[in-house]
Amino acid sequence: MDAKRWIQLTVNGEEHEVYVEPRRRLLDVLREDLGLTGTKEGCGTGDCGACTVILDGRLVNACLVFAISANGKSVETVEGLATDHLHPIQEAFIQHGGLQCGICTPGFLMSAKHLLNSNPNPTLDEVRFGLAGNLCRCTGYTKIYEAVLAAAKNMREET
């Protein structure tokens, strides 16, 4: 008996159908089946946040989500941030040096987007709390926090 199932999901606004085993992770479907390698696997246990995506408006670690549970849902990945130009959060990360090796960056960008969608004018403490699920071994966090605060300011000024 074939345990695989067809699932349908919308990733960055695009519809996809994927044939998956029930225990297959969303992270693997994104990277291997859909070719969206921006979402990284850091730890595989949900501790580092490198695989953070937005699933139906909620932040999730894609390494902990079974792909089958994303059936019929919408997923936003780091590839969906930039359209014709970089997203203001991406610009701010570049301008403020909020990235180095790049493994954690996609997760931080998605967590920052989620935070700024719900709180366009966060305090430093709110930024720290909003990014608490993401770990970085390179930057020391200060530049990341500065980047998110700058992005928030730029996004408010654009609207």
Chunked in runs of 10, what are the mean pLDDT values of the chain (159 residues)?
90 98 97 98 96 98 98 98 95 95 96 98 98 92 97 94
pLDDT, residue 57, reads 97
Token match 């969608």: residue?
117
Note the pTM of the prediction, 2 decimals: 0.95
Do both 97 and 67 map to the same domain? no
pLDDT tens digits along 60-81:
999 999 999 999 999 999 999 9
Counting the structural domains of the chain, the total is 2
User: Which residue range forms the structural domain that includes residue 28?
Assistant: 5-80
Q: Do 74 and 133 fall within a single domain?
A: no
Q: Same domain for 13 and 67? A: yes
Same structural domain, 95 and 146: yes
In the block, which residue shows the tokens 């990360």? 93
Residues 32 and 72 in one domain: yes
**For residues 107 and 48, is the Cβ–Cβ distance under 8 A?**
yes
